[in-house]
Amino acid sequence: MAGKRISPEMEAVYVISVAASLSGMHPQTLRIYERRGLIDPFRTPGGTRRYSDADLERLSLIQDLTGQGINIEGVKRIMALEEENQFLRDEVRRLRRQKKVAQDAAIAATEALQETKRNMAGEILVRRDILRFPEFPR
């Protein structure tokens, strides 16, 4: 996955031995988790795995779930659901912001329409007065 873009806070800096040590796992376990699709470490152009803090957090979650007796497929499913939930939460936030913008625009349009109606009513009164013929005595 060379060329994979990462943000500065997710910078992949840990080689597999350091990531294994920090996570309390054997390097082979990390390789197995990668093969099983549980983690996806950054790869340097030379193919060396580099793990980020986010990868270490993910490994910690995997460790917690497997420690509770959940098998690897169950862990994958839980993690996929968590990612989907996060996507949906982000989408709800985006839609709420979009709704707020639309509501604000509708309020502004309603206020502008009311102002236009007031102005037109005033203009009609002025024109009516201008066009009104004076009454002549009989």
pLDDT tens string 63-113 = 999 999 999 999 999 999 999 999 999 999 999 999 999 999 999 999 999
Residue 2, pLDDT > 60, answer no
Residue 8, pLDDT > 60, answer no
Residue 9, pLDDT > 50, answer no
Global pTM exceeds 0.75:
no
Angle ∠(15,16,17) on CA atoms, nearest 5 = 95
Q: Which long-range contacts (CB under 8 A, 24 or more apart) does 41-46 make?
A: 41/12, 41/16, 42/1, 42/4, 42/6, 42/12, 43/1, 43/2, 43/4, 44/2, 45/2
